Structure 1
């Protein structure tokens, strides 16, 4: 089984396309539990999608 990392992120709010180095991460604490969210560096929206390119291993089909 292969693990794929996003090649690019696309914000559903403003349409900004950004890569892994440009992303922002917000850390939140809720009831003593820390969570992280990837957000758009332009508008800080967490409503984003990812694109993945590259090859797939034959056993993953």
Structure 2
């Protein structure tokens, strides 16, 4: 599994960081940083929740 973030779409609202703080952080510029691009499968549920919570659809999970 791989996390993809479209930093151009990101509005910096921080929903992803709230849902999965071990994997996402909103930086000083107000855009998402992916802290671990290839997390283990055991984190899928939290990451899917974070992806779905993004109001601007800036996140994707790829298998």
More helix by share: 2
Same fold (TM over 0.5): no
More strand by share: 1
TM-score by length of 1: 0.24
Of structures 1 and 2, the one with the larger relative CO (CA 8 A, separation 6+) is 2
Q: Computing the radius of gyration over CA atoms, which structure comes out larger, 1 or 2?
A: 1
TM-score by length of 2: 0.24
